[in-house]
């Protein structure tokens, strides 16, 4: 009997040694504030597609990806396209999955990093810095790239896509969605992040997903994280926000669950496309918390043996 117990103890020791403990990684409010502050600074002049400011924003994103060890998806991080005679580019990073089979399936995490440049002048200020729209979402994706690059435990591959020219009609995401479709990308799902810098005050959830009735995305995220993190917004449905952000071109091309997570349906933020969309309006503790709470859901999506996120319908609700 003593020999049996000794053998079991030995097995437990070997088992523990064979599964190294994963590093605990937390996204901090200081981290996201620093990044949003730069992207929404006057130096970047509103990040309009084709401008010197958006060039600086792209270079910043590239340097962050490179420092984390996130590889370019194409030969470089930039996915170029034309807007008439204007040169524009998305910024695309990639972390290959660890599973020999599942790595062929790709999850896209996206956000647009451009803004409108100038807005209606208020008190002599015409610069639209775009802190919540969408430096916040951009920084959320950058933070998630850092997390997954450090953890190295995603069985499926993850693409980090920062889109340009969203403000000109979703042009960057339309370009990339068509390109990836033509290249036969094996897409599992696409999650877009838009305006995640301010909290709701009257909801029993922390963020909503556009096209809530279209798939089981919200239900599965809440199941994965064990809380009511994601809900439905009647305001978002009324204004058809599902069709107004960079998730939509991927939905159109692939016919799969491609949806946007946001904590702002414009009922709780008065500065959409306004010169006062500044960092002073944002709640960075909330933003960091939302990112940290969302990451485990994406982690679970990347590791399930089957594709759990499924369509309910073929038309957006």
Strand partners, 107: 158, 189
- Flag whether pLDDT at 2 surpasses 70: no
- Flag whether pLDDT at 68 surpasses 60: yes
Read off the pLDDT of residues 125-184 as tens digits, 9 standing for 90 and up.
999 999 999 999 999 999 999 999 999 999 999 999 999 999 999 999 999 999 999 999
Strands (E), 123-216: 125-128, 157-163, 187-193, 207-209
Which domain range does residue 47 map to?
25-303
Residue 135 lies in a domain: yes
**pLDDT on residue 5:** 47
Residue 151 lies in a domain: yes
Mean pLDDT score across all residues of the chain: 93
Residue 8 lies in a domain: no
Read off the pLDDT of residues 83-122 as tens digits, 9 standing for 90 and up.
999 999 999 999 999 999 999 999 999 999 999 999 999 9
Query: Which SS3 state, helix, strand or coil, does residue 28 take?
Result: coil
- Flag whether pLDDT at 18 surpasses 70: no
Confidence of residue 19 (pLDDT cuts 50, 70, 90): low
Residue 87 lies in a domain: yes
Overall number of domains in the chain = 1
**pLDDT on residue 9:** 52
Structure tokens given for 65 = 């990806």
Confidence of residue 24 (pLDDT cuts 50, 70, 90): confident
Mean pLDDT of the 44-72 span: 98
The dihedral through the CA atoms of 116, 161, 296, 39 has a sign that is negative
Residue 313 lies in a domain: no
Strands (E), the chain: 71-72, 78-83, 86-95, 106-112, 117-122, 125-128, 157-163, 187-193, 207-209, 230-231, 258-262
**pLDDT on residue 14:** 45
Q: Where does residue 266 fall: left (phi above 0), alpha (psi -120 to 50 degrees), or beta otherwise?
A: left
The runs of H, that is alpha helices, within 40-136 are 52-68
CB 258 within 8 A of CB 214: no
Residue 69 lies in a domain: yes
Read off the pLDDT of residues 232-256 as tens digits, 9 standing for 90 and up.
999 999 999 999 999 999 999 999 9
Read off the pLDDT of residues 291-312 as tens digits, 9 standing for 90 and up.
999 999 999 999 999 999 999 9
Please report, for the domain that includes residue 146, its CATH number.
3.40.630.10
Residue 315 lies in a domain: no
- Flag whether pLDDT at 20 surpasses 70: no
Mean pLDDT of the 35-47 span: 98
């Amino acid at each position: 009997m003593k020999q049996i117990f000794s053998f079991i103890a030995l097995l437990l020791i070997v088992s523990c040694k064979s599964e190294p403990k994963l590093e605990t990684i937390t996204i901090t409010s200081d981290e996201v504030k620093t990044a949003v502050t730069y992207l929404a600074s006057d130096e970047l002049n509103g990040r309009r597609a084709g401008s010197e400011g958006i060039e600086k924003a792209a270079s910043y994103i590239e340097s962050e990806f490179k420092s984390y060890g996130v590889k370019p998806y194409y030969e470089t991080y930039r996915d170029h396209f034309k807007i008439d005679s204007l040169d524009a580019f998305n910024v695309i990073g990639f972390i290959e999955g660890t599973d020999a089979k599942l790595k062929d399936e790709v999850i896209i995490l996206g956000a647009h990093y451009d803004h409108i440049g100038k807005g209606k002048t208020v008190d002599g200020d015409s610069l639209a810095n775009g802190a919540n729209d969408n430096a916040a979402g951009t920084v959320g994706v950058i933070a998630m790239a850092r997390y997954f690059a450090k953890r190295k435990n995603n069985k499926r591959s993850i693409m980090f896509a920062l889109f340009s020219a969203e403000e000109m009609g979703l042009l960057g995401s339309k370009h990339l969605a068509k390109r990836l479709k033509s290249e036969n990308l094996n897409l599992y799902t696409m999650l877009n992040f838009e305006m995640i810098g301010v909290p709701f005050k009257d909801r029993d959830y922390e963020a909503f997903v556009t096209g809530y009735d279209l798939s089981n995305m919200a239900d599965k995220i809440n199941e994965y994280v064990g809380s009511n993190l994601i809900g439905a917004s009647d305001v978002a449905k009324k204004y058809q926000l599902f069709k107004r952000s960079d998730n939509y071109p991927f939905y159109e091309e692939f016919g799969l669950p491609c949806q946007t997570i946001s904590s702002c349906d414009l009922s709780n933020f008065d500065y959409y496309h306004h010169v006062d969309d500044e960092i002073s309006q944002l709640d960075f503790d909330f933003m960091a918390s939302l990112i940290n709470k969302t990451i485990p859901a994406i982690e679970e999506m990347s590791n399930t043996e089957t594709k759990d996120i499924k369509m309910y319908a073929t038309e957006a609700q």
